[in-house]
Amino acid sequence: MAAGNTESTAAQSADADLSDDLVCDYLKDNCDFLQRHPEMMDYLQISHASGSAISLVEKQVSVLRERNMDMRHRLSALTGNARDNDKLYESTRDLVLQLLEADTTAELYKTFHRSMSRDFDVEHASMVLFSDETAPADYRADTLANARVEIGPLLRQGKAVCGPLRKEELAYLFPDAGEVGSAALMPIKTDEVLGLIAIGSSDASHYGSGMGTLFLSHIADVIARLLPRLQRQDA
């Protein structure tokens, strides 16, 4: 009787020491275990989502099928992103070439707005050029001092800002646009801030803080290099 109790206690101790992690580690180190012991397949029980039991092979096929579907979805998403980036690149390239052909500041201004609407399918677009002089009526200008009063925090960062901006900031950027929920803004600057470009959407989540702004930054850089020459020609 005592010997039986000893064996039972030893078995319980072994069971306590043999954790799921140890079994997993052993199977990882001995991946041919089921090949060497095929009879163990009869002892493995796997529950299906329906509640019925299925074989290990069926379970493996099911797992592989799910992984395959997941990979297909990921590949489809990557392909879609690549197509969108290709289209964005082509539109940006065409806009840059059109901007280079502009002979006046007003023409550059009109080219930007036309391309945003026609080629980029942007719901709202804005360009504000900073100047202390009275600007012609064919493009929008403002003093930098007033812009800092209206949207100072957006300009202080000196880089692209995206997201659901304050109502007053959106009203300044898009005064004739009506309801705007989110926007992306990029300063036009060299050694000084020459202006800004912005795009907006009525969808508050359309332009999020995590969106890429590479193409918007590229367009702003091109405009920043063209503006001083065009403004000298205008004068």
User: CA-to-CA distance for 220 and 209, rounded, in angstroms?
Assistant: 19
List, in sequence order, the alpha helices (H) in 18-55.
20-29, 33-36
Give the pLDDT of residue 23: 82
Give the pLDDT of residue 11: 47
User: CA-to-CA distance for 87 and 81, rounded, in angstroms?
Assistant: 10
Residues 132-182 have pLDDT tens digits of 887 777 899 999 999 999 999 999 888 899 999 889 999 999 998 888 889
Write the Ramachandran bin of 121: left for phi over 0, alpha for psi from -120 to 50, otherwise beta. left
User: CA-to-CA distance for 198 and 44, rounded, in angstroms?
Assistant: 62
Rounded to an integer, the average pLDDT of 183-202 is: 94
pTM score, whole prediction:
0.66
Contact 85, 141 (CB under 8 A): no
Assign a CATH topology to domain 104-234. Beta-Lactamase (3.30.450)
For the chain, domain boundaries:
104-234
